[in-house]
Amino acid sequence: MNTTDGHRKHARNERNERDELDDRDELDEQDELDDPEERDEREGKDEEGGRGERDGRGEPDRVSAAEALRGAVEQLTELLGRAPETVSALTPTETGWTARIEFVEVERVPETTSVLASYEVALGHDGHLLGYERGKRYTRAQIDDKDGG
């Protein structure tokens, strides 16, 4: 083997070693991407998977009442497949927000006989839906009876 062939072989070995190192670095980066906790931390997500910012104590900041209300309406509308009639309550809680949203369940003629349902919605600090439950059903013409429920 002459010197030129030796230099070429040496250069080829160096390139192969660099390529192998690059491949290992890419695999390490991919492993980091596949680690959900690191990915969430990099993307600014909190424990519940939301994008809530963190305050000085490490807890996610609460979205504003308007943002929580919009989020509750949009998310429940998507799940139920119909638009809400009205929002009757929005309350901050330790875990985020609760909202009460009214939907028409059965449309009737005349409208005063249509059946509405009240849904209780739980939202996280970041405004993402945690759960919902249908509460009472009533006709549109029914008057609230605060004492009798």
Q: Mind listing the pLDDT tens digit for each residue in 87-104? A: 999 999 999 999 999 999
pLDDT at residue 33, rounded to an integer: 52
Residue 143's pLDDT band, with cuts at 50, 70 and 90, is confident
- pTM, two decimal places: 0.58
Tell me which amino acid residue 141 is: A
Question: What percent of the chain stands above pLDDT 90?
Answer: 54
The upper half-sphere exposure of residue 82, i.e. CA atoms within 13 Å in the direction of its Cβ, equals 13
Of 17-26, 69-78, 122-131, where does mean pLDDT reach its minimum?
17-26
Q: Indicate the pLDDT class of residue 57, thresholds 50, 70 and 90.
A: low
pLDDT (0 to 100) of residue 144: 77
Q: How far apart are CA 51 and CA 67, in angstroms?
A: 13
Residue linked to tokens 């030129």: 4
Q: Quote the pLDDT of residue 1.
A: 57
- SS3 call for 31: helix
116 close to 97: Cβ distance less than 8 angstroms? no
The token pair at 95 is 């875990």
Note whether 117 and 102 are within 8 A (CB).
Answer: yes
- Please report the pLDDT score of residue 22 as a whole number: 62
- Give dist(CA 39, CA 85) in Å, integer: 39
